[in-house]
Chain A
Amino acid sequence: MGVLLFLVIVIAASIPLAWLFRATLVRTLPHDIAIVARDMPLTAAFGLLVIGVYVFVAVLAPVLAPFPERAVVGTQFQPWDSTHWLGTDRLGRDMLSRLIYGARNTVGIAFATTTLAFVVGSLLGIWAALRGGWLDQGLSRFVDALMAIPSLIFSLLLLTIFGTTVMTLILVIAAVDATRVYRIARSVAQGVVVMDYIEAARLRGEGNWYLIRREILPNALAPLVAEFGLRFCFVFLTISSLSFLGLGIQPPTADWGSMVRDNATLITFGNVTPLLPAGAIALLTVAVNFVVDWQLYRASGLKEQG
């Protein structure tokens, strides 16, 4: 019940916030962007606001965080008080500071991973759709095979082989995600390549790279963006699931996924500490997808009216 009440309050609070934010945007931004801002639903405004805050926090982490990322500044599990607003963690590091730095690391890693996955996945996918034939078949079969392997166990294998530096972590998760992206990109691109303008470009004698870059990609973007939103958030989950299996981010780097894992046991005793990083992830997920939904809705030629 308390949880529900809390949710209601949060939602109630976020609505005027979002409204204010949108209003300010409309005021401050140059006219042509302001128009866009003005039409965006409150949910999207809320999403943008949250993302903005996260980016802000991530960038200014060292300035904002009251304590250093790794420093042990108290005894373990201190309650919330005036010095440690959110108490301390299992090693006596300041929870708030960890969260703030976590934003930087987690969002950074997640972004890098997802971007990599999308560059590789969508390029290959579009290329396959464009060329068709054996290339398409070969690539798709191979990707099918990779997708048939449970992703978590696959990443586990790869990470055990290549070790768990942040770099390998990014590469491995990106590789696994890329297969999913490939699929979507391919199916979307297949819808685009039948268009007359592609035919025209082919007849003009354009090369593959131009076709992919200028003709197909821009028109396949919308659904890819939507996927980006979800995948982006799934990276956190993958990371924390991996650290559940003993891999994941290198300590003492603060990262939400591992923070959830490290403190998860506490929930057994009704201690809310692990809810903080988890909440942070959830909030970002919701925010990102609100924005994505809005973008989709605009891209879909305002199909969905409201």
Chain B
Amino acid sequence: MHAVLVMILQRLGLGVLTLFVVSLVIFGATELLPGDLASSLLGQSATPETVAALRRQMGLDQPAPVRYWAWLTGVLQGDFGVSLASRRPIADMMSARLGNTVFLALYAAAIAVPLSLILGVLAALWRNSLFDRVANAGALSAISFPEFFVAYILIFLLAQSGYFPSMVRLSPAMSLGDKLYVTFLPALTLTLVVTAHMMRMTRAAIINLMASPYIEMARLKGLSPLRIVLRHALPNALAPIINVIALNLAYLITGVVVVEVVFVYPGLGQLMVDSVSKRDIAVVQAIALIFASAYVLLNLTADVLSTLTNPRLMRRK
């Protein structure tokens, strides 16, 4: 256990470092973007004086390092600051959307993970069978369709016929059931997008082990193929599987802006893209940090889990 704790602490430290680098990169990038908040707010109606006034008001006339420092100190005190574009506290702007994003991610994962594990195991069990090949090809074609396109197809098939709403409208009052119903299509879309990757990894990880001596031993003990795969191969294949799951979860949280647009789903991705085009650096930074930490934490969890599932690392001689 102790070893694991140490690892967690180290990784958390590195995580913080990562976040710092991320904030630097993002800040630098947004600084390089042509135009700034003031001009993009005022657009063509901007006369030099108006822009200047707006810049003064927003403190955009400060040199970049100063602004970054101000922002950093703010965040370190847990204060994300106020959106310069909408003048609303960033924390408020994000909280609801973060909730939505996480909800959708978990929803999709809840379908995708078991599905891909089952498919992967079966594919490994009947490897090179027709099932294996079809599942494989199916998975591959699924990921080779752009997300928004998958979404459109699903809408065409399931929404226009009236089974599910083509557009997500969430209200706080909604019961979980309704929520699951209205967000079904986006969740399904994301499922199709991530399943293939996880399934292929599961299959590969298991098959890699099928050649190892202890699997032959298991066969020579007269165990059934299913038992061999489940009890003897799977436990040793967990590490890579867990890792790919973590990666896909991270993707589900951070990478779904397109799906959000198509289903009009109020998530963080949309907010980030809008803020980028508005040059609302504070918001961009805040979301980038949230995304980055999600990524870091998920990877950490994955490593911890794969350590826990590996006796060699858990119990030393």
Question: Is there direct touching of A and B in the complex, by C-beta distance under 8 Å?
Answer: yes
> B-contacting residues of A (Cβ < 8 Å)?
11, 41, 43, 141-142, 144-154, 156-158, 160-161, 233-234, 236-237, 240-241, 244-245, 257, 260-261, 264-265, 267-268, 270, 274, 278, 281-286, 289-290, 293, 300, 303-304, 306
Which of B22, B30, B141, B276 lies in contact with A145, CB distance below 8 A?
B22
Q: How far is it, in angstroms, between the C-alpha of A283 and the C-alpha of B140 when the chains are bound?
A: 9
Chain B contacts with A in 112-160, Cβ cutoff 8 A = 127-128, 133-134, 136-137, 140-141, 143-149, 152-153, 155-156, 160
Asked if A149 contacts B127 (CB within 8 A), the reply is no
Q: Which residues of B contact A146 (CB under 8 A)?
A: 25
Closest 8 CB pairs of A and B: A285-B144, A306-B128, A145-B21, A148-B292, A150-B254, A282-B141, A282-B144, A303-B211
Q: List 18 A-B contacts (CB under 8 A).
A: A11-B134, A141-B17, A148-B22, A152-B255, A160-B276, A161-B34, A236-B146, A241-B147, A261-B146, A267-B149, A268-B156, A278-B149, A282-B141, A285-B144, A286-B144, A289-B136, A304-B128, A306-B128
Q: Is the CB of B257 within 8 A of A160?
A: no
When distances are taken between beta carbons in the complex, the residues of chain B under 8 Å from A264 are 148-149, 152
Q: Cα distance A283–B295 when bound, in Å?
A: 32
* 8 Å CB contact of B276 from A153, A289, A290, A304: A153
Alpha-carbon distance A240/B149, docked complex (angstroms): 10
- Identify the interface centre among A150, A152, A286: most chain B CB within 10 Å of its CB: A150
| Contact between A285 and B295, CB atoms less than 8 A apart | no
Closest to B292 in A: A148
A149 touching B25, Cβ below 8 Å: yes
**B207 lies within 8 A of chain A by Cβ:** yes
Asked if B6 is an interface residue, CB under 8 A from chain A, the answer is no
C-beta contact mask, B52-82 vs A, less than 8 Å → 1, else 0?
A: 0000000000000000000000000000000
B258 touches A244 (CB 8 A): yes
Q: How far is the CB of A162 from chain B (nearest CB, A)?
A: 9
Nearest chain A CB to B99's CB is how many angstroms away? 18
Interface size on B, residues (CB 8 A): 51
Complex Cα–Cα for A154 and B30 (A):
10
Total CB contacts across the A-B interface at under 8 A: 142
Annotate B245-273 by CB proximity to A: 1 below 8 A, 0 otherwise: 00000000011011001000000010011
- Interface positions of B from 191 to 212, Cβ below 8 Å from A: 207-208, 210-211
Q: Which residues of B contact A (CB under 8 A)?
A: 14, 17-19, 21-22, 25-26, 29-30, 32-34, 127-128, 133-134, 136-137, 140-141, 143-149, 152-153, 155-156, 160, 207-208, 210-211, 254-255, 257-258, 261, 269, 272-273, 276, 288, 291-292, 295-296
Q: A153-B257, A267-B149 are in contact. Are A233 and B156 (CB under 8 A)?
A: no
- Distance in Å: Cβ of A256 to nearest Cβ of chain B: 10
Q: Which of B136, B144, B148, B288 has the most A CB atoms < 10 Å from its CB?
A: B144
CB distance from A169 to the nearest CB of B (A): 16
Q: How far is the CA of A261 from the CA of B32 in the complex (A)?
A: 28
Not counting A152-B258, A257-B146, A268-B160, a sample of 12 additional A-B residue pairs whose C-beta atoms are within 8 angstroms of each other reads A141-B17, A153-B276, A156-B276, A240-B149, A241-B147, A244-B146, A282-B140, A282-B145, A285-B141, A285-B143, A286-B144, A303-B208
Give the distance in Å from the alpha carbon of A300 to the alpha carbon of B209 in the complex: 12
Partner of B146 from A11, A43, A151, A278 at Cβ < 8 Å: A278
B194 to chain A, nearest CB (A): 13
Contact status of A267 and B21, CB under 8 A, knowing A43-B133, A148-B291, A153-B272: no
Residue pair B30, A304 in contact (C-beta under 8 Å)? no
